[in-house]
Amino acid sequence: MTRRAASADTRETDDGSGAVRRLALPARRFLARRSGVLVRLALWSLAETGQAFLVGYGVAQAVDQGFLAGDTRRGLLWLTVALVAVLLGAPVIRGVFAQLAGLTEPLRDGLVRHAVDRSLGPAAAGGPGGTDRAAVSRLTNQVEIARDSFAGLVLTLRSFVFTAAGALLGLLSLHPSLLVVVLPPLSLGLGLFLVTLRPMAAAQRRALAADEALGDHAARSRAALRDLTACGTGPAAARRGAELIEGAAAAARVLAGWAAVRTAALGVAGHLPVLALLLAVPWLRGRGVTAGALLGAFTYLVQSLLPALHTLMTALGAAGSRLLVVLDRIIGPERPQPRPERPRAAEQERAGEPEGAGEPGSVRAPAATRPEPALAAAPRPAPGAGGAAVTARATAAIPGPGDDAPNLGGRPADRARTAAVELRSVTLSYGVRAEPVLDSLDLCVAPGEHLAVVGPSGIGKSTLTRLIAGTLAPSGGEVRVDGREVTGRPPAELAALRVLMPQEAYVFSGTLSDNLTYLRPGASRADLDAAVDALGLWPLVERLGGLDAPLRPAELSHGERQLLALTRAWMSPAPLLLLDEATCHLDPAAEARAEEALARRPGTLLVVAHRLSSAVRADRVLVLDGTDAVCGTHDEVLDRSPLYRDLTGHWQGGPARRR
């Protein structure tokens, strides 16, 4: 079971005594307001006491005073009395049901009102956490469970009390010794059963929590379907769903196990009194108990007491614990809404979860238009798999350009301002025992700066962009964008801070204009024209039939998709753009034009570069390698980083030189 589900379990696995305390007062108030219904119910139930009494008593008298005394007519008369008592059960039950509605329907209405108030309140207040996805389950499934369980419980509890009273009274009237034999095993059975109630309630809680977690996941996946598809994170979400289904199945199995134990206890307890009575026949006969009284006692046991006990135990065990749990979930203390999953990588590894990068589409709608926080991120390969997890250590502080400005890199005019990006001693490992991909990395990027990140494949460039974007939580240290820590920040707030563009551009069906204004829905036609101008998109716009022409993503080349997504990023109001090889399918000229346009745009640009020209265009270059990280201007890093010299040599097919 995942860490989140496990913590939910810890929260939920109290044995029910807390819930009983919490619910006692509202329950008393609810019943006090319906004292009239309770009295009428008790009156109808008294008829059951009489009925239970007469059945056994009639049989005993029929035998003793009738058939054994040679008076068949009298015997038949007493049997008729017992029969009439049985037949009277039907109108009695009808009367009971009529009164029961006076309790169950107000309960249902009250619970529905409460569930609606509770889920609408926070939504109307616009507070954090967004919509309460468990509310639907509470409103439909859980309220119905509460109502049915309550009805079942009232019926059986009442029936047991009144039937048992009639039967015990009957036993007493036949012979007090009968009570001495019957009461101990009965009490033992009841006691044994009561012992199983607490673990049963805990199992019930876990089953409900697992059910809700599964419903929550399904709702989140449905809402984020497009982004999941766009980012290829569908398999991760499916795996998480499978885990939750497995968790729910496991909880249901535990519950079924307890139900089986309880049923076994019931079987034993239900038969013990009969056995005891059979074994005690000689002793009872010695004390003057007549054959008719014995037969009457068996009738009480088999016809009244044991069925009532059996139903009571079943109802208390299943309906009672279910009612307790469900009522506590609906009217008990409010539980915090689950935050978008963003656990630290090391914890995720321990919990076996996909990493909690909650940003399914790297290009996202602005906060106001974004429908839902997203789910899981890309599937995590096994640590070290395929050599891809070779770790690198990017150590030591990376000063800005100029030693006099250790805290803020970038252009001198920007130094007094808040850093656009700041990493303080950031470490990231993808597994508990895995070597860190980034180790104690410090970095400052000034507002308006253009930084290129370079390094060999698998060194951690994408990891760095995802950390800055806040879709991946560091194992240690702090990541700030525009002065605000990004870890754990809701996707809506992250979207206002940055745009992360991956290699695979996200283009959807709709018009070209829909696609371009996705990150800025209120954009004017002039804004749109300016963006298309800046990125040189007009030839593509014309080929596709204009800005309002419908777009078929499948008909675009990878390069065209990237150009379109870059134009969309240009339009975004977010102050930071993170391009993770987002221009790799463009030819060098188109890439240069796009990068220059994005660098001219007010804001900060961080580019994972895959061409020398891209690094040269930047204000500074950050070189990540296996043991160190170097940052400075192109010329500075050429001097200081042998790796950079190597890379530039490969890029230009010869010795490194400034273009």
Ligand X SMILES: Nc1ncnc2c1ncn2[C@@H]1O[C@H](COP(=O)(O)OP(=O)(O)OP(=O)(O)O)[C@@H](O)[C@H]1O
User: Where do contacts with ligand X occur on this chain (CB under 6 A)?
Assistant: 355, 378, 380-381, 383, 388-390, 430, 437, 455, 457-463
CB of 135 to ligand X, least distance (A): 33
| Closest residue by Cα to residue 151 from 324, 319, 306 | 319
| Residue 60 vs 394, nearer CB to ligand X | 394
| Residue 536 vs 626, nearer CB to ligand X | 626
CB of 626 to ligand X, least distance (A): 11
| Residue 462 vs 567, nearer CB to ligand X | 462
| Residue 139 vs 390, nearer CB to ligand X | 390
Query: 165: how many CB neighbours lie within 10 A of its CB?
Result: 16
CB of 384 to ligand X, least distance (A): 8
| Closest residue by Cα to residue 439 from 399, 486, 489, 392 | 392
Sequence letter at residue 357:
A
Q: Greatest CA span in the chain, whole angstroms? A: 126
| Closest residue by Cα to residue 153 from 333, 327, 306 | 327
Mention every residue, 6+ apart, whose C-beta is less than 8 A from residue 654: none
Long-range contacts of 250-257 (CB under 8 A, 24+ apart): 250/1, 250/210, 251/203, 251/206, 251/207, 251/209, 251/210, 251/211, 252/207, 252/210, 254/203, 254/206, 254/207, 255/200, 255/203, 255/204, 255/206, 255/207, 257/203
| Residue 150 vs 430, nearer CB to ligand X | 430
| Residue 152 vs 431, nearer CB to ligand X | 431
| Residue 205 vs 466, nearer CB to ligand X | 466
CB of 622 to ligand X, least distance (A): 12
Sequence letter at residue 435:
E
CB 624 within 8 A of CB 390: no
CB of 438 to ligand X, least distance (A): 9
Please, what is the angle between helix 72-87 and helix 35-61, to 10°?
Answer: 160
| Residue 248 vs 375, nearer CB to ligand X | 375
| Residue 448 vs 455, nearer CB to ligand X | 455
CB of 599 to ligand X, least distance (A): 21
CB of 465 to ligand X, least distance (A): 8
294: left (phi over 0), alpha (psi -120 to 50) or beta: alpha
At 643, list the tokens.
């790796």
At 628, list the tokens.
């160190």
| Residue 35 vs 457, nearer CB to ligand X | 457
CB of 381 to ligand X, least distance (A): 5
- 655: three-class secondary structure by DSSP: coil
Query: 550: how many CB neighbours lie within 10 A of its CB?
Result: 11
CB of 493 to ligand X, least distance (A): 23
Mention every residue, 6+ apart, whose C-beta is less than 8 A from residue 281: 294
CB of 382 to ligand X, least distance (A): 8
Mention every residue, 6+ apart, whose C-beta is less than 8 A from residue 338: 4, 216
